[in-house]
Structure 1
Amino acid sequence: MTNTALIIVDVQRGFDDPVWGRRNNPDAEANIAALLDSWDGPLVYVRHDSTKPGSPLAPGGEGNRFKPELDRATPDLVFGKKVNSAFHGEVDLHAWLTNRGINDVVLAGIQTNMCVETTARVGGNLGYRVKVVLDATFTFDLEDLTADQLAAATATNLRGGGFAEIVSTKDITGG
C-alpha cells in the first residue's frame, strides 16, 4: 500500500472532555489501534490546534496531545491545523502526498461529521481516492441529532456525493 496513506485526524485527549457531550462508537480507538497495527504504508497524524478560548484542544494543553493509542506507530508526517480540513494545515498535505506519488488516502479519527468528513470532501475534490473507515471514527450529539445519526449522514454525504468510499476496519486490515 505504498501509494496509499493512512491519515489519522485529530485523535486527541481533549475529545475525552465532558464538554463535548455524548459520543458514539466506543470502539473507535480500538479500531484505530488495529489500523495502526496492520498499516505498512505512509502514515500521517493531524492535530487540531484550536484557537477558541478555553478549548480542550488548545495548543500546549494536555487535551492537545494525541491519545495513547497513537503511540504504537511512528508517523511519517505530523502537523497541526486550525480549521476542519487536514488539507488546510501547517503543512501542504496535498503537496506532500503528490511528491510521494500517493493517490489514495484512508481516513480515520475524530469527529466523523466535522474534520474527518471535511478532509474526505477536500481530498475527493483534489482527485484522491478516499476511503473513510467509519468504525474508526466517532462524533458527538449535536443540536437535535444523535451522534449515530450524524455518522450515518456523513456516510451518506460522502458516498452519495462521490467524495469517498465508506469502509470498515476489517476491510482495511483484512481481519
Structure 2
Amino acid sequence: MATPLYPQGSSALLLIDPYNDFLSEGGKLHKFAKVVADATGTVAHMKAVVDAVRAAGHPVFVVPHHRALPSDFSGWRHPSPYLLASHRAQPFALGSWGGEWHPDFVPRPEDIVVREHWASSGFANTDLDLQLKSRGIERLILIGLLANTCVETTAKFGAELGYHVTLVRDATAAFSPDAMRAAHEINGPTYAHEILTSEAVIAALAHR
C-alpha cells in the first residue's frame, strides 16, 4: 500500500491571515484581491481544505499577521517600502472588524494560533517552528493570503527549515493574475514539494 502524502501525526495545515480585511466584502484589502479570489473560488476552496484537514484528524495552525497600530514602525530603522505602504492603510487594525477572523475561519479551541508575524514570513520572529516541532509536524499544507507574499514567504522559510511544503493553487489569492502565476508557476517550483489543487489535496487527505 502506498505511503500517504499526509501521514497521521506528522502533517498539519497552516491557515495564513484569514482576516475580514482580506476575505470579506468591505475589507480594506478585499477589493484588491477580489478579482482573483472570485475567479479562483478562494474562500470556498479554503473552507473545503480546512474541513478535509479536520476530518483527517490533522491539526490546524492559524498563522496571523500583526494587527496594525498607528504606532507601528515608530523608531524602526529599516522598515521595507511594502510594510510602510501597508501601514498607511492600517490593515487588520487591532480592535477593528477587519482585524477579526473571517466567519468561516474562526479558530476552534483545539487549533493552535501562533504569534503574529510582522512582515511576510509566518516563521520569522514567531513561535511557529517551535509549535510545529514540539508536535512532531514535518509536512505542511499552506492556504490563505496572499499567494505571493505571506503564503510564499512562509512556505519558503518552512522549506529552508526542512519541512515538506504543499501549496494549494486555488485556496489562496493575490492582487493580480500575474502575482498568482509567479507564486505557483515561477517561484513555487523552486522550493515547494507539491503544488496542488484543493481537489487533489482533499483526495490525498482521504488516503490514510
Report the TM-score when normalising by structure 1: 0.86
Aligned to 1:131: 166
Do the aligned residues in 1 keep the contact of 2:28 with 2:91 (CA within 8 Å)?
no
Q: Matches of 2:33 and 2:13 in 1, distance apart?
A: 27
Q: Deviations over 1:25-46 (max 9, x none)?
A: 3211111111111112011112
Letter in 2 for 1:3: S
Matched length: 168
Q: Matches of 1:164 and 1:83 in 2, distance apart?
A: 24
CA pair 35-148 structure 1, distance change in 2 beyond 3 A: same
CA pair 85-173 structure 1, distance change in 2 beyond 3 A: same
CA pair 42-158 structure 1, distance change in 2 beyond 3 A: farther
> Aligned-pair distance for 1:21?
2.5
Does 2:114 align with 1:83?
A: no
1:1-175 correspondence to structure 2 within 5 Å: 1-15=8-22, 16=24, 17=27, 21-23=32-34, 24-26=36-38, 27-39=41-53, 40-49=57-66, 50=68, 51=72, 52-71=87-106, 73-79=108-114, 80-89=116-125, 91-140=126-175, 147-174=176-203
Quote the RMSD (CA, aligned, Å).
2.0
Report the TM-score when normalising by structure 2: 0.73
Q: Matches of 1:160 and 1:8 in 2, distance apart?
A: 21
> Aligned-pair distance for 1:159?
3.5
Identity %: 28
Unpaired stretches in structure 1, ≥5 consecutive residues: 141-146
